[in-house]
Copies of this chain bind each other. A is one copy, B any other.
Amino acid sequence: MPFVNIKKQYLAFGMLVFVVLFLFNSRPAIQCQFTPEVSTYVPTIYGITPTYARLAQKADLTRLSQTLMLVKNFHWIVIEDSETKTSLVENLLKESTLKYTHLNVKTHKSKHSTVMDVNICVFKTETITTSWYCASGVEQRNVALNWLRGHLKDSDDKRGAVYFMDDDNTYSLKVFDEMRKIKKVGVWPVGIVGGMRVEMPLVTDGKVSGFNAVWKPFRPFPIDMAGFAINATLFLLHPEAKFSRKVQSGFQESEILKYVATKDDLEPLAENCTKVYVWHTRTQKPSILNPKKLKHPPLPDDHIEV
């Protein structure tokens, strides 16, 4: 039956055309990659960063944002100490490719202001006296925690770690890997802080047994803000947890931790608190000359954003 044979040939030819199309549809203009169907879930890290206007602000936020761009599943909550959101911070966040939330609240100057309300405190020890920046950013961090509670309530995924980050500190990528392991509160050493090379929890048999600290070692938790992160769910379980301006300088960390953990709950990370993955660096305050006082003043540069 020649007719049937012709039809079979048509069928075979049609199939051949599609086999060829099937095989070559992805080359050379399309590249294909196998994506193995394994769980790639990593808990979100919520980085809470208060910031304030100053000459080195954009520089500090720029290099921090560039570190954060390398961190998987990171959500940056940036809170300006200002009446309104500035275009400098807004544009920086927009251009960063980061997932972010931009908030603002002006630090409230109440009549109950104490020494803790100003930015510079005196850091006095047995041997030296030096100026020292207090933990500022109380209102800013509290506004961020309120936002976070609302966000988690509305979200299907209530997991994550909360990390309070200064805009001029230095964070190795390794510290973010550590905080994904947190069950309740993770702790680790912090470099160059409190008058020490490294301020750190002491670990015995895998548990935090004390702290190596010389600046106010009587603090309930003598650790820096960069030295711990908290399971996000704990902020839903403890809606009252917040920072306070009514505590003395250096006690903000103890203030927030008291709501969510005891010393026994602390989980020593960074290889049992033997590695430094964060540093309490500070950017030197720039010395700028007053153009009005110069014999040969430069051209005005106020139109340039620095």
Residues of A within 8 A of B (CB): 3-4, 7, 10-11, 14-15, 18-19, 21-22, 25-26, 28-37, 55-56, 58-60, 62-63, 66-67, 69-70, 123, 125-128, 130, 170-173, 189, 191-192, 195-198, 200, 202, 212-214, 217, 274-276, 279, 281-284, 286-291, 293-299, 301, 304-306
In the complex where A128-B287, A296-B214 touch, is A192 in contact with B55 (Cβ < 8 A)? yes
- Which residues of B lie under 8 Å from residue A3 when comparing CB positions? 3-4
Q: Tell me the bound Cα distance from A37 to B30 in angstroms.
A: 10
A217 and B282 contacting across the interface, CB-CB below 8 Å: no
Sampled A-B contacts (10; CB under 8 Å): A15-B18, A18-B22, A30-B33, A55-B192, A67-B67, A195-B288, A198-B306, A214-B297, A281-B284, A282-B283
Q: Tell me the bound Cα distance from A18 to B11 in angstroms.
A: 12
A294 and B214 contacting across the interface, CB-CB below 8 Å: yes
- Which residues of B lie under 8 Å from residue A290 when comparing CB positions? 127
Q: How many copies does the complex hold?
A: 2
Q: For the complex formed, measure the closest distance between the CB of A294 and the CB atoms of chain B, giving whole angstroms.
A: 6
Q: For the complex formed, measure the closest distance between the CB of A246 and the CB atoms of chain B, giving whole angstroms.
A: 28
B32 and A31 contacting across the interface, CB-CB below 8 Å: yes
B63 and A197 contacting across the interface, CB-CB below 8 Å: no
In the complex where A59-B279, A127-B294, A274-B304 touch, is A7 in contact with B11 (Cβ < 8 A)? yes
Q: Tell me the bound Cα distance from A66 to B67 in angstroms.
A: 6
B295 and A126 contacting across the interface, CB-CB below 8 Å: yes
Q: Tell me the bound Cα distance from A35 to B62 in angstroms.
A: 30
- Which residues of B lie under 8 Å from residue A11 when comparing CB positions? 7, 10-11, 14
B127 and A197 contacting across the interface, CB-CB below 8 Å: no
A172 and B34 contacting across the interface, CB-CB below 8 Å: no
- Which residues of B lie under 8 Å from residue A288 when comparing CB positions? 192, 195-197
B276 and A304 contacting across the interface, CB-CB below 8 Å: yes
Of B31, B59, B214, B281, the residue contacting A33 (CB under 8 A) is B31
B192 and A306 contacting across the interface, CB-CB below 8 Å: yes
Contacts beyond the supplied A18-B21, A59-B279, A214-B294: 10 A-B pairs with Cβ under 8 Å: A3-B4, A7-B11, A29-B36, A30-B35, A32-B33, A55-B197, A66-B173, A127-B294, A195-B287, A283-B284
